[in-house]
Amino acid sequence: MIFVGSARVGFWARLLAAFSYGLPVVLIVAPLVSFLAYSFFHMEGGQIVTDVSLVNYKRFFTDTIFIPILFKTCLLCMAVALLAVLIGFPVAFLLSNLKGRRRYFMLLMVLVPLLMSYIIKIYAIRSILGGSGFLNRFLLWTGVIDAPLTFFVFNLNAVLLTLTILLIPFAILPIFLSLERIPRSLLEASSDLGASASQTFLRIVLPLTLPGIVTAATFVFVLAIGDFLTPQMVGGQSGFTFGRIVYSQFGAAFNWPFGAALAIILALVVIVMIALGSRLEDRGT
Amino acid sequence: MRLPAIALGLLWAVTVIVFLLLYVPLAIPILSSFFTIAHGEVQWNDPSLGSYAVLAGNAGILEAVTNTLIVGSSATLLASACGTLLALHYCGGKSLAREAMQFAVYLPFLMPPIITGLSLLIFFRETGIARSLLTVIAAHTVFVLALTYRTIVVRLQSIGPEMIEASTDLGASTWQTFIHIILPILSSTLIGAGVLSFALSFDETMITLLVTGTDSTLPIRLWAMMRLGFTPDINALVAIILALTTLICIVAVRLLLPAELEQDG
């Protein structure tokens, strides 16, 4: 749009075009292509062999540990998404009912924790959840329990709780935005026509925020399934997730081609989830 | 919509719980930073500012903070410049190639960070580029580019072609139009996107972990320390970072929120 009406600008326009295609091709497309290529290679005696084969994918489908872990990880991340939406919705709803400056102040308060170091938050949550952590000591001190609880100590439950706490803001924001977009006149019309608050909520507010809820759930799911640090920190021995397995192929296990193949499978799961989410959103509107 | 008192009470209850969940993990290190820590336990009856003094002498952490600031500001500047150029090209017409370019730019933001990080790791290895702070800057630029590009495109599309046509009709060169018309219109967008990019880069952990060499940014340093347990000065660092971010947020809200919101509150 900037190059109009002048013949001399042809050169600069072509230069801009070259840069605009060159940058993403070099720094985004080429890395993804080499990544995809690696998934068809394999390791032999500590060396990467560049013969194209499906051996990594075959291992994923035939070995009995990978598919169950992927399935378990998907369930875990769906639970995180569901939990985050369930507790995020009331907060978003309350915020959207506040007036003026208070509404945006509260929204900001929801978002401020996102700016804080993610590692520090995991560490703090870890010190709360541990066997002799703050939570257990508090419950013992109040006399609610006699012995330290163990169901949230360094296992999948701990991963579930930690991820939910870390990702709640990502659930609140899209729901808040879709609640805010509902015209006041619709709510007034509904109550003028004799609907009770709960009827207005169920028949007007909830259907109109469905796209926001779906966006929130997709967001949280994608962020949760890609996270390999949280499970590593609070998951302990039993809290093995798919992301951790992928990451370990690039560290201790040192099998880059297999890790690349596993990551491609993870990417496919994410693409399917995003596609499902946008289908649901389209149907909601 | 007028809510019944019970519903309102329940909503507030859930909100209070959520705020506790969000803020207790932040409060613990901050509170601890003002007390002495002995044998791994916080001595709640012995307030002290000792951890701040220790922090001032911790060269490793201060170097990590410097690295983080270098990476954050470089990536923000690069992504803002590249984002502007790509956005100008995208808005220059309609074509399948432009849509493909836009899709590629969004990919690192849509895909899980482990995918972006791994693909860059493999790419750097294949092209023989040694991992260093430069590869971290490149990775962060690619990561935040989607955000700067998107905000600039939205702003450019809201201008419409009339303004630029008028400028050209009045005899301005392309360069003059860019400097005197487009850049001033984009300035607030660039600042907003810049602040957000910097914040994202400041805390980026997963991509960085994969593409970094021996130089570590703050999150990587913290990640390495976490296995051994944190020293008291980390608490002090957390307190300082939170104080600064809160201050920046308050200033940003004061500056950016439209005046009419102030009145009906």
pLDDT of residue B255: 63
Rounded CA-CA distance A154/A185 in Å is: 50
- Mean pLDDT for the stretch of residues B7-31: 90
Angle CA B61–B139–A267, to nearest 5 = 115
- The DSSP bridge partners found for residue B36 are B43
Residue B80 predicted with pLDDT over 80? yes
Number of helices and strands in chain A (H, E): 14, 2
Q: Do A119 and B82 touch (CB under 8 A)?
A: no
The mean pLDDT of A12-26, rounded to a whole number, is 88
d(C-alpha A70, C-alpha A272), whole Å: 14
pLDDT surpasses 60 at A130? yes
pLDDT digits (tens, 9 = 90+) for B169-192: 888 888 888 888 888 888 888 888
Q: Which chain B residue shows the shortest CA-CA distance from A23?
A: B82
pLDDT in the model for residue B256 = 58
User: Does residue B234 sit at the A interface (CB-CB below 8 Å)?
Assistant: yes
Q: What angle do CA B202, B203, B207 make, to 5 degrees?
A: 105
R_g of chain B, CA atoms, integer Å: 23
**Which tokens is A21 given?**
């295609």
Tokens 């007390």, residue located: B35
Nearest-CA residue of chain A relative to B93?
A1
The model's pLDDT over B198-218, given as tens digits with 9 standing for 90+, comes to 888 988 889 999 998 888 898
Domain residue spans of chain A: 54-284
Chain B positions touching A124 (Cβ under 8 A) are 24-26, 28-29
Q: What is the structure's pLDDT at B1?
A: 58
**Distance separating alpha carbons of residues A77 and B37, to the nearest angstrom:** 37
Give pLDDT, residue B254: 66
pLDDT tier at B46 (50, 70, 90 boundaries)?
A: confident
Superfamily of domain B72-221 in the CATH hierarchy: MetI-like (1.10.3720.10)
Report pLDDT for A282: 77
Cα gap B167→B178, rounded to integer Å: 10
To test the contact with chain B by mutation, choose from A8, A21, A27 the residue with the greatest count of B C-beta atoms within 10 A, namely A27
**Model pLDDT, residue B173:** 82
Task: Please state the φ and ψ torsions of residue B230, each to the nearest 5 degrees.
Answer: -85, 145
Q: Which residues contact B64 (CB under 8 A, 6 or more apart)?
A: B216, B217, B218, B220, B221
Of residues B255 and B198, more confidence is placed in B198
3-state secondary structure A83-139: HHHHHHHHHHHHHHHCCHHHHHHHHHHHHHHHHCCHHHHHHHHHHHHCCCCHHHHHH
**Which residues of chain B neighbour A274 with C-beta distances below 8 Å?**
110
pLDDT band at A1, cuts 50/70/90? Answer: low
pLDDT bin (cut points 50, 70, 90) of residue B137 is very high
β-strands A42-44, A47-49: how paired?
A: antiparallel
CA B172 → CA A10, B158, B234, distances in Å?
16, 21, 55
Strand partners, B38: B41
| Residue B173 β-bridge partners | none
**What is the distance in angstroms between the Cα of A42 and the nearest Cα belonging to chain B?**
14
Q: Are B28 and A134 in contact (CB under 8 A)?
A: yes
Share of chain B above pLDDT 90, in %: 34
The per-residue pLDDT for A8 is 55
> What are the tokens at B113?
């960070």
Chain A nearest-CA distance from B37, in A, is: 15
**Residue range A17-29: mean pLDDT, rounded:** 91
Verify whether the Cβ–Cβ distance A20 to B101 is below 8 Å: yes
Query: Look-up: residue for tokens 């709960």?
Result: A198
Alpha-carbon distance of B182 to B156, in angstroms, equals 8
> pLDDT tens digit string along A206-226?
989 999 999 999 999 999 998
| Residue range A113-126: mean pLDDT, rounded | 83
For residue B172, what is the DSSP state? -
Whether the predicted pLDDT of B257 surpasses 80: no
Q: Nearest by CB to B222, which of A101, A119, A260?
A: A119
What's phi and psi for B98, nearest 5 deg?
-65, -40
The pLDDT of residue A252 is above 90: no
> What does the pLDDT read at residue A6?
52
In the CATH hierarchy, which top-level class contains the domain A54-284?
Answer: mainly alpha
Model-level pTM? 0.86
Q: What angle do CA A260, A263, A265 make, to 5 degrees?
A: 115
Percent pLDDT > 70 in chain A is: 96
Q: So what's the pLDDT on residue B265?
A: 37
pLDDT digits (tens, 9 = 90+) for A27-69: 999 999 999 999 999 888 777 888 888 888 999 999 888 999 9
**Cβ(B29)–Cβ(B239) under 8 Å?**
yes
Dihedral of the alpha carbons of A252, A254, A256, A257, in degrees to the nearest 10 = -120
**What mean pLDDT, rounded, does chain A reach?**
87
Q: How far is A41 from chain B (nearest CA, A)?
A: 12
In this complex, how many residue pairs, one in chain A and one in chain B, have their CB atoms less than 8 Å apart? 239
Best interface-test mutation with B: which of A116, A184, A187 has the largest number of B CBs within 10 A? A116
For residue A120, what pLDDT is reported?
83
pLDDT-derived band at B259, boundaries 50, 70, 90 = very low
Please give the residue of chain A at the shortest CA–CA distance from B97: A21
Contact A230, A241 (CB under 8 A): no
Using alpha carbons, list the distances in angstroms from residue B197 to A130, A194, B76, B79, B235.
Answer: 34, 48, 6, 8, 25
Query: Domain residues of chain B, as ranges?
Result: 72-221
Would you state the pLDDT for residue B250?
72
Beta-carbon count within 10 A of B227 CB: 8
Phi, psi of A107, rounded to the nearest 5 degrees: -60, -40
Instruction: Choose the closest CB to A197 out of B2, B10, B88.
Output: B2
Q: Which of A73-82, A126-135, A173-182, B205-214 comes out lowest in average pLDDT?
A: A126-135
| pLDDT given at position B117 | 92
Any idea what DSSP says for residue B34? Answer: T
CA A251 to chain centre: 23
